[in-house]
Amino acid sequence: MSDSAEPLVIYDVRDRVATITFNRPARLNAFNDDMTREALAAMRRFDLDPDADVAVLTGAGRAFSSGADVQQRQLRPREEMEKHGGPQARDANSENLLTDCVNWKPVICAAHGYVLGLALGIALECDLIVAEEGTKFQVTEAPRGLSGAKYWALLNFRGGGSLAVKVSLTGEFFTAEQALRVNIIDQVAPKGEYLAVARELGRGIAKNPPLGVRHTVQLRRWELKKVQQEAVRTVRAAKLNLTEDFLESARAFVEKRPAGPFKGR
């Protein structure tokens, strides 16, 4: 069920730019199954919307998104994990947000606050990324006992190089400024202006004839999807979400205590 009567994802269009806002601010826009389903519906709406040529993804409140809802997704019963092939429900898989489309319209990520784990993956799949100065990114998989391979692949696709390796193995935070230096993101915006900057970028794209723009987006996403699918295939085969170390780390996170000791099983 939704946290409140408010929609978990808000859709708005102005000047041919759709703004899609993750709206679960009390949980730092953590993705549970319901919010993911609403996000998928919003992306399908954008794909078919004759009044929108570009979308901007953003988050309400203090963060773009803190990633997966650990309580719901990572602490699912083992039988549910096995049924879904992982922590995400089959009809609520965030990996389909930008690939399940017909018209291949460009999507800009407008990030601020925190962009963690699953949310980092969504941001990296976007065609362009604008981040507020000081925004913090993190591959949360390493400290959770999971594989950071998918995030390494996405970061590397954008040119992350040695930084991509380091943050995928350590789980260290990295900033918008660090990401810009290695071309992981496209622009750092001043405090409070990230959404305005992203919308202005979107309006600039929308001035162009749409078909050529969409063809470029389609080719980029095809190439990205090949990289992502190969990484995801190896991650799923490892089934690290069923290990004792993963369960210990997830429980420690929810219980707000140090995790460990880890047993390598």
Mean pLDDT of 21-44: 95
The answer to whether the Cα torsion of 26, 32, 38, 41 is positive or negative is: positive
Q: Where exactly are the structural domains of the chain?
A: 9-255
pLDDT attached to residue 237: 86
| pLDDT at residue 74 tops 60 | no
Please choose, from the candidates 170, 165, 145, the residue with its C-alpha nearest in 3D space to the C-alpha of residue 235. 145
Give the pLDDT mean for 45-65. 98
> Using one digit for the tens of pLDDT, what is the confidence trace for 226-248?
999 898 889 888 888 788 888 88
Q: Which CATH architecture has domain 9-255?
A: Alpha-Beta Complex (3.90)
Is a pLDDT exceeding 60 seen at residue 56?
Answer: yes
| Local confidence band at 82 (pLDDT 50, 70, 90 cut-offs) | low
Mean pLDDT of 85-106: 79
Rounded Cα distance, 30 and 23, in Å: 9
